[in-house]
Amino acid sequence: MVAGLQAFVEAFDERTAAVAGRPVPPSANLILFYRAMANELSLDGLADGLGWQRFALTRTPPAGPLTLHPAVGAMEQHRYGFPQPTAYAFELQPRHISLALVPGVAFDHVGTRLGHGVGYYDELLARLPEDCPRIGVAPSELVFDRLPVEPHDVPMTHLATQDGVVAVSPWSGVR
């Protein structure tokens, strides 16, 4: 899966230049990345291959929405076991993101994402630029015909499985 996703990212990424050092300039086009929980696919090999400086990670603050930070720099352990930027990491704005790689418990063929039920990722995805592709990442056995939709759900534009990356049909949020 990483090879197919890397090819997709590289094809999309012609306009994105690698960013060296910190802080990341406001003009940066970064890829929203996630560090995998135990039940999610790890994409660390993709970041190793393309360079971690091209990616942004989320941080779960004690209160409020997820924040965005460069994927390079000091990390600490999240309560769910994955590394996240420290509280003092430089904060990025959603406008810095040009492509989002999104984990999920399951997806469906029209881009619905089933998360862990807290709504953090949907709130973050709603703040990204409107034209930012959102790629749901999961093994093909976790892609279903239809999943339930809630009003706050933000649909994916693409799905990445071991079979490759495909665009999904948009939905209105109501079925």
Instruction: In whole angstroms, give the CA distance from residue 156 to residue 133.
Output: 8
Q: Is the pTM of this model over 0.95?
A: no
Residue ranges and CATH numbers for the domains of the chain are: 2-15+28-167 (3.40.50.10420)
What residue spans of 28-133 are helical by DSSP H? Answer: 44-50, 120-127
Phi, psi of 2 (to 5 degrees): -60, -40
pLDDT at 28: 60
Task: Measure CA 146 to chain center.
Answer: 21
When the pLDDT of each residue in the chain is averaged and rounded to a whole number, the result is: 85
Residues in the chain: 175
pLDDT at 171: 59
The pLDDT tens digits of the residues spanning 20-68 come to 344 454 556 899 999 988 888 889 999 998 899 999 999 998 888 999 9
